[in-house]
């Protein structure tokens, strides 16, 4: 799973039938301190009703995504599975100034 922040939405009319009626969010990967992790992002199916600006957990693996959506052969890989309330990073480097 990856930590990310919802930065936008994608709306498609013409798309694979599996994605009909499923909200798609643009989620950029974040480090525990909340900074973006480079340009890493995914367009993920929303399962929890997350909105723009929220920190979320994204499952970024096909088999788990299919299990979560109860779709054995679903062509899906990324699913937003949780909204993060708080992140505590107690590793020694946490809070240290970045080079």
Partner 1 sequence: MKLGRVIGSMVASIKPEGMRGLKLLIVRPLTAELAVEGDPFIATDASAQAGDGDLVTYEASREAALLHEPWFVPIDHAIVGIVDQHAYDDGGRGRER
* Residue among 26 and 82 whose Cβ is closer to partner 1: 26
40/18 Cα distance (integer angstroms) = 25
Q: CA 6, 53, 11: angle at the middle one, nearest 5? A: 50
Total of chain residues touching partner 1, rule CB under 8 A: 33
Comparison of 22 and 82: residue with beta carbon closer to partner 1: 22
| Touching partner 1, residues 32-61 (CB under 8 A) | 35-36, 38-39, 41-44, 52-53
Say if CB 75 and CB 16 are below 8 A apart.
yes
Closer of 62 and 82 to partner 1 (Cβ): 62
| Closer residue to partner 1 in complex, CB, 66/82 | 66
Scanning residues 58 to 97, which ones bind partner 1 (CB under 8 A)? 62, 73-78
Q: Which residues pair with 43 in a beta bridge?
A: 26
Q: Which of 50, 51, 60 is nearest to 29 (CA)?
A: 60
Residue 67: burial class (beta carbons within 10 Å; 0-12, 13-18, 19+): middle
Tell me which residues touch partner 1 (CB under 8 A): 5, 7-16, 18-19, 24, 26, 28, 35-36, 38-39, 41-44, 52-53, 62, 73-78
């Amino acid at each position: 799973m990856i930590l990310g922040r919802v930065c936008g939405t994608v709306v498609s009319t013409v798309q694979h039938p599996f994605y009909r009626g499923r909200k798609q969010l643009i989620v950029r990967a974040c480090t525990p301190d909340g900074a973006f992790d480079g340009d890493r992002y995914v367009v993920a199916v929303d399962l929890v009703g997350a909105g723009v600006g929220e920190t979320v957990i994204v499952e970024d693996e096909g088999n788990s995504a299919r299990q979560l959506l109860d779709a054995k052969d679903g062509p899906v890989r990324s699913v937003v599975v949780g909204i993060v309330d708080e992140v505590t990073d107690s590793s020694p480097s946490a809070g240290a100034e970045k080079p």
